[in-house]
Copies of this chain bind each other. A is one copy, B any other.
Amino acid sequence: MTTLATTAETNSCCPPAADAGLPAAESDRLARVFKAVGDPTRVRLLSLIATGERGEACICDLTEPVGLSQGTVSHHMRILADAGLVEREQRGKWAYYSVVRSALDEAATALRTL
């Protein structure tokens, strides 16, 4: 007679359990941060701010290097701020941004320890 061996399952060595890997909530949180830096302009803006005087930059000084309007740069900066990667400080007319180093470090650690 035939034995209907479930070879597919039994031969499979060690499929990841449903609860293996990162929890869904943590994956969501990390993906949000990575998505924020998943755009060339935002990578460049972050690097401009990080290398700026005192680790900060006025939005008025960011438009020219990236060749975009202030409205577009503001939009990108809002995405970075919402992801917790930059902090915004209003000084008179202008918004100044600084990089949140701890958030970048945390994202970096997550990549290394995936």
Contact = CB atoms under 8 A, between A and B. Distances in A.
Interface in A9-51: 12-22, 24, 27-28, 30-32, 34-48, 50-51
Q: A-side binding surface: helix, strand, loop or mixed?
A: helix
A102 B66 CA distance: 29
B40 A31 contact: yes
A34 B37 contact: yes
Nearest to A8: B60
A62 interface: yes
Interface of A: 8, 12-22, 24, 27-28, 30-32, 34-48, 50-53, 57-58, 60-62, 64-65, 99, 104-105, 107-109, 111-112, 114
